[in-house]
Chain A
């Protein structure tokens, strides 16, 4: 055949194909060096308010994002679980991957204990001038003596001569959390299940998923080593916590995206084979799709630095739309009078319509680019880059490979017959559709805002079983109430610490009222310099203290000179340099300080107070107690996430509406006829309304991704509506055009149908909206076509 003669010139062909190949290779190179993330933070706003910013920082890199909970359940007995727990704990500590590994084995506190003892006169909140008066000393020594000759005596007695006022004990009281896990055989165990527990925080940041995956994998390896030789009697390993969830979701989304792509490609391949009966046509049809996915992913990687797993999963939805371009081309470029010129005829006759369809889609997605949420913006960039690349390949690349479209007729004649049957039957159902539309609007109006009741967590791909395990492990550990955080922010470290101390004083009152069983604050290890100096200033000199001790111990069965080491300790403490954060960062308390205090990315410092609430806790009282302190904020994580999501939903609504408006404006500019514009928009609007009505009738809680799905209906559906508009203008509809429409619709519905049954809620939400919506868009476009197509 004479492809070389009548088709594109050889030079041009080589150039285009080389450019294309180079672009694809460059895209692959970019993608291969990209990180894939899966944390929720991509779906948190980029410009939050102060409270939200703290929340987001915490979600991204706070201690919660680095905390792993490990359970060892079942096995032979408690002693065996305790042995495995100790072995695993030791190996994990030795690995260097974790900042802290706790399993109830108190040996790790020894070093911290020495520090606390050495610096007790700077750390103890009881060190005041009154404490060192005669009466104060008398009371304090009496209190400490009341511990002697009791089971706790052995702990107190070795320190008594040096610390008769019990400052070490006072500090320890604050450091040991009120809600510790149950201890059995020397390790933490569950209160409800035969299970030993470990708690670890990783050194790596919560957003470094690769490091988190390594930290999780290390636990699995060390567990395998620790249980070697136990066989079937070994306790089972349970893992939970934010790192596990992030790693799991990433793997799950990745796996699901690949799975969807493979199944989608197979189904699509069968459809295309049936339509073209030509393997070559099949390969050619998939090229724009693949190029589009590569371009979309690479564009996101370049713009955002990393690709969110959800964006990747979304890639599979693009197959449905981009394959349409190839289908239109392969069918419509057929039947050229001179072989090799089919592409030219297609370029002149059909490309403008495809281009318009592309532009409307791009318009729609462009709205997402301006989203304040990086996750949504990623979807926008991905879709636009993917669609443009696929269209360019169709326009410039496919003519080089298949200048006359696809050979072979396959089952297309049947498709065309079905399509023309539908096209002829549909207008008769027009009234029915309108009635249904009215019903749908009424249903939506009736449900109102309740229709959009899906929450942020509905986007999470974490399974219910994993969530339950997490809740159960959390309960066992007695972790602080993650629901409410007290956050202190100030310009510098010392101001933050002073604010934290002020907040702590007010929280003490709530502890006495029984609303809190305790709280964790950084100032127990790191008091402000001002507080430390005030404490040191309340220490009397050696001679004064000696005299007061003698007076205070009168009548006690205790010779005053036995407390000479106390006088020496106090004297030494008067010369100690203040405790600084830098000093603590080198020591055993570093993890605790790091978890509770951090430098803000935008400058300044923040500290957190974690609350241990009792059932008498009243949040309003907490807020009222802390209200007078301007640098202190109470963050209710659940409520903040909820309001964040509402804001997100609201913003998405505005963007989707703007996107839809842009589509209408563009169509108006192109069509230059109000009548034609109405004819094109009518079926699209009705398709959206009917889809929403169906969701309302089925009681599906709708969320942001459903909204994005609606935008996709408009983007995909506008192609169909435009084709029918085109048919009316030209007045002819050959078999092939009808077949191409039918096939394009079928591939779209099938690919979104596959996504609809995905396990990942975010993807299935999009699929469940677009699959029926796209079908409706085609049927309605046919139904509302003004003139009957012959």
Chain B
């Protein structure tokens, strides 16, 4: 008796579960068109831009300072792996990445190093470079990503996977329109924050 009852209850629960699962699948299928703008598609858009030049302005909010620290300059990217950030104000400074080499030039001195010897730095470079190149594979090696918005107005949230990088950088948000990145916001552990606005040269 008791065992018979138990079996019946079990059967009902199981049926209920199966229905619920179907319902979920159906819902997912129905909702699919609205979620269509995913990382894959965004990267596809970005990958079409093989080269780009832009001006940037940057505001950094650092604890202990009375106002934001500002910088401005130019950015240039050439697919697949060349990225140059040239700061013009307040002091000239260039950071050029080419493949695995990073060259920093400042006050008439330049210094080069290999990116893969510093995984944290490489992660930061790839956030920008892999995004601009539309290289999903590389981006996913360093970050878990969440895409929001639509193709005409998207955001890409990146959370570092590497523990060391994550101990310094809390979140990264890139935003843009179609194949163009127009903004980068970074939030650091400890409360500092930086906001970069990018305006492509045409």
Which A residues fall within an 8 A CB radius of B? 139, 142-143, 145-146, 148-151, 153-154, 157, 173, 176, 178-184, 186, 191, 478, 508, 511-512, 517-518, 557-559, 562
- Would you give the 0/1 interface string for B171-202, flagging 1 where the beta carbon is closer than 8 Å to chain A? 00000000000000010111011100000000
A518 to B61, CA, bound (A): 34
With a CB–CB cut-off of 8 A, which chain B residues contact A139?
A: 91, 107
With A143-B91, A146-B93, A180-B114 already in contact, the answer to whether A151 and B121 are too (CB < 8 A) is: yes
Chain A neighbourhood of B33, CB < 8 A = none
- Does B114 lie within 8 Å of A148, measured CB to CB? no
- Given A149-B62, A150-B60, A154-B188, verify A178-B112 contact (CB < 8 Å): yes
Q: Which of B106, B108, B189 contacts A143 (CB 8 A)?
A: B106
Query: Once bound together, how far apart are the Cα atoms of A191 and B117, in whole Å?
Result: 10
A139 to B107, alpha carbons, bound, how many Å?
A: 9
List chain B residues, Cβ under 8 A from A146. 69, 71, 87, 90-91, 93
The reply to whether A191 and B116 form a contact with Cβ atoms under 8 Å apart is: yes
In the complex, which residue of chain B has the Cβ closest to the Cβ of A186? Answer: B164
> A179 near B194 (CB under 8 angstroms)?
no
Q: Which listed residue, B65, B68, B87, B110, touches A558 by the CB 8 Å rule? A: B65
| B190 contact from A154, A179, A562, Cβ within 8 A | A154
**CA of A511 to CA of B104 in the docked complex: distance in angstroms?**
12
Q: What are 21 inter-chain pairs, A to B, with CB distance below 8 A?
A: A143-B107, A145-B69, A146-B90, A148-B192, A149-B62, A149-B193, A150-B194, A151-B121, A151-B169, A151-B186, A153-B62, A157-B64, A176-B113, A180-B117, A181-B117, A478-B114, A512-B108, A512-B109, A557-B65, A557-B66, A559-B66
Q: Which residues of B contact A150 (CB under 8 A)?
A: 60, 194
State whether the Cβ of B7 lies closer than 8 Å to any Cβ in chain A.
no
Contact A149 B117 (CB under 8 A): no
| Complex CA distance for A150 and B186, rounded to whole angstroms | 8
B68 CB to closest chain A CB, in angstroms? 7
Q: Which of the residues B62, B111, B118, B119 comes within 8 Å of A173, measured between beta carbons?
A: B111
Q: Which residue of B lies closest to A150 (CB)?
A: B194
- Cβ-based interface call for B120 (8 A): yes
> Which B residues are CB-close (under 8 A) to A558?
65-66
Chain B 83-142 residues near chain A, CB threshold 8 A:
87, 90-91, 93, 106-114, 116-121, 124
**A154-B62 contact, Cβ under 8 Å, with A143-B91, A149-B69:** no
B146 interfacial by beta-carbon distance below 8 Å: no
Q: Shortest distance in angstroms between A603's beta carbon and chain B's nearest beta carbon?
A: 37
B90 CB contacts on chain A under 8 angstroms: 142, 146
In chain B, what residue has the closest Cβ to A176?
B113
Q: How far is the CA of A517 from the CA of B165 in the complex (A)?
A: 26
Q: Name the residue of chain B whose CB is nearest to the CB of A559.
A: B66
Q: Interface centre among B61, B69, B91, by most A CB within 10 Å?
A: B69
Smallest CB separation, A79 vs chain B (Å): 12
Interface residues of B in 23-60 (CB under 8 A from A): 60
Residues on A with C-beta less than 8 A from B114 are 178-180, 182, 478
Further 5 A-B residue pairs, CB within 8 A, beyond A143-B107, A151-B169, A557-B65: A154-B189, A154-B190, A180-B113, A184-B119, A517-B112
Chain B residues packing against A (C-beta within 8 Å): 60-62, 64-69, 71, 87, 90-91, 93, 106-114, 116-121, 124, 164-165, 168-169, 186, 188-190, 192-194
A148 to B188, CA, bound (A): 11
- Give the complex CA separation of A149 and B195 in angstroms: 10
Q: Is the CB of A183 within 8 A of B67?
A: no
Bound-complex Cα distance A176 to B164 (A): 19
Min Cβ gap B164→A in Å is 8
Docked complex Cα distance between A25 and B108 (Å)? 73
How far apart are A56's CB and chain B's nearest CB, in angstroms?
Answer: 33
Residues of B within 8 A of A559 (CB): 66
In the complex, which residues of chain A have a beta carbon less than 8 angstroms from the beta carbon of B192?
Answer: 148-149, 153, 157
**B-chain residues with CB within 8 Å of residue A176 when the two chains form the complex:** 113
List the 5 shortest-distance A-B pairs measured between CB atoms, nearest first: A149-B60, A180-B117, A557-B67, A182-B116, A557-B66
Report the bound CA distance from A226 to B193 in whole Å.
43
Q: Which residues of A contact B68 (CB under 8 A)?
A: 557
**Cβ of B111 and Cβ of A183 under 8 Å apart?**
no
Which residues of chain A are near B113, meaning CB under 8 Å?
176, 178, 180
Cα A179 to Cα B117 in complex, Å, equals 8
Given the complex of chains A and B, what is the CA–CA distance between A767 and B121 in angstroms? 58
Which residues of chain B are within 8 angstroms of A182 by Cβ–Cβ distance? 114, 116-117
Q: A154–B117 Cα gap in the complex (Å)?
A: 19
B109 contact set on A, CB distance < 8 A: 508, 512
B121: A residues at CB distance < 8 A: 151
Q: How far is the CA of A176 from the CA of B62 in the complex (A)?
A: 27
Using Cβ atoms and an 8 Å threshold, which residues of chain A touch B93? 143, 146
B110–A511 CB distance below 8 A:
yes
In the assembly, what is the distance between CA of A154 and CA of B114, in Å? 21
